[in-house]
Amino acid sequence: VQACTDCSRCRVVSFSRKEKDCSWYAECDTAKLGDAFGTYHRSFLVRGAEGSVTAEATAAVRTAPELELATQVTPRVVDVVVYGGPHYDAVLELRMRELNEIVGLFIVVQHARPGAGGGIRGRDASRTFSPAQPRFQPFANKTEVWHSEKVVDEFLDLDVMNGAERNLCFESMRDAFAEFGRPTDVVLAGDIDEVPRAGR
């Protein structure tokens, strides 16, 4: 923040949820602020239209030592996936077993489903993820389910979905993390069947 207030051309500062990353964009391109996945950015004006330093920027400079201390916390690994239906249960179980030792929180995002006639099937219990299922019980104590009323097809592949639907999934993952995540978390995100190796 201090660097921004000292720079005559800098008008906006944007902190990520980790509170240690100041997002610097070429020529202060504010259109790019807050678009990074997994991080809600806290953005504010450093200078007003007349060029004077804003009160919010001055306050942020004063609290900078507190933000620096917060970054010393050991990060928790959070795994965020979009649930496509019960046909993904086996691969989700595999993912959880593989990552269980390093992940502190699993977040499963579930959307409303399109019906055969174009309507919304919604919360069909037979197609709804539940951490209480026997195969998921070993991870139930560190699993959160985030429900979205937005409609997404069951057969999910983020690489081949159309742009609008893919962006909707990413937005839901980001919103879910915003609800359950912490500023110091490290986020894993991707297709549910792209299982990272825990030791890599």
Q: What is the pLDDT of residues 65-79, one digit of tens each?
A: 444 444 456 789 999
Q: Identify the residue with better confidence: 9 or 186.
A: 186
Closest CA to 184 of 16, 36, 1: 16
Show Cβ contacts of residue 77 under 8 Å, excluding neighbours closer than 6 positions. 99, 102, 103, 104, 105, 185, 186, 188
pLDDT tens string 180-192: 988 888 998 888 8
pLDDT tens string 143-188: 999 988 877 665 555 555 566 777 788 888 888 998 898 888 899 8
